Amino acid sequence: MKIIQATFIQSNTDYKACPAPEKPEYAFIGRSNVGKSSLINMLTGHPNLAKTSQKPGKTQLINHFLINDEWYLVDLPGYGWAQASKADREKWDTMIRQYLLQRTNLLCVFVLIDSRHEAQKVDLEFMEWLGKSEIPFSIIFTKADKQTKSKTQLHVEQYIQKMLEQWEEVPSYFVTSSVSRDGRDEILKFIDSLNKT
Ligand code: GTP
Ligand code: MG
Lowest mean pLDDT among 155-159, 162-166, 174-178: 162-166
Indicate which atom in ligand 1 lies nearest the CA of residue 146: 30
CATH code where residue 31 lies: 3.40.50.300
Number of domains present in the structure of the chain: 1
Residue span of the structural domain in which 132 resides = 6-195
- Average model confidence (pLDDT) across the chain: 94
Ligand 1, atom 21, lies closest to the CA of 35
> Could you report how far apart the first and last alpha carbons of the chain are, in Å?
15
Residue type, 86: K
Q: What is the pLDDT of residue 5?
A: 97
Confidence of residue 176 (pLDDT cuts 50, 70, 90): very high
Please give the ipTM for the structure prediction: 0.99
Q: Can you tell me which atom of ligand 1 is nearest the CA of 142? A: 27
Measured in degrees and rounded to the nearest 5, phi and psi for residue 140 equal -125, 120
Say if 1 falls within a structural domain: no
Q: What is the pTM of this model?
A: 0.96
> Distance between CA atoms of 127 and 137, rounded to whole angstroms?
8
CA of 12 to the centre of ligand 1 (A): 21
